[in-house]
Amino acid sequence: MGELDQEDVQLVHRVLEYLRDKEMIKLDRVMCHTPGFKRNCCVYVTANYPRIPLMWGNTLFPPEGDKPDFTTITVAEWPEKKTLVFPETGRTLILGSDYKGENKKAMLRQVMYWAKSEGNLGLHAASKILRVYRDGKLRDFGFLLFGLSGTGKTSLSCHSHWLCAPERVVIRQDDVVILRSDGSAIGTEESFYLKTDGLEPGSQPLLYAAAISPRAILENVWVDPETGKVDFFDSTLTSNGRGMVKRRDIAFT
Q: Domains in the chain, start-ordered, CATH in brackets?
A: 6-117 (3.40.449.10), 121-249 (2.170.8.10)
Other CB atoms closer than 10 Å to residue 68's CB: what's the count? 17
Q: What is the sign of the dihedral through the CA atoms of 44, 28, 212 and 225?
A: negative
Amino acid at 249: D
Residues 6+ apart with CB under 8 A from 177: 122, 123, 125, 126, 127, 144, 185, 186, 187, 188
Q: What confidence score (pLDDT) does residue 5 get?
A: 87
The answer to whether 26 and 44 are in contact (CB under 8 A) is yes
Q: What confidence score (pLDDT) does residue 1 get?
A: 43
Q: What confidence score (pLDDT) does residue 10 get?
A: 95
Mean pLDDT by 10 residues, the chain (253 residues): 79 97 98 96 98 95 93 98 95 96 95 97 96 95 91 93 95 95 94 94 96 94 91 91 94 93
Q: What confidence score (pLDDT) does residue 151 get?
A: 87
Considering the entire predicted model, what is its pTM?
0.90
Q: What confidence score (pLDDT) does residue 36 get?
A: 94
Amino acid at 252: F
Q: What confidence score (pLDDT) does residue 2 get?
A: 45
Q: What confidence score (pLDDT) does residue 149 get?
A: 84
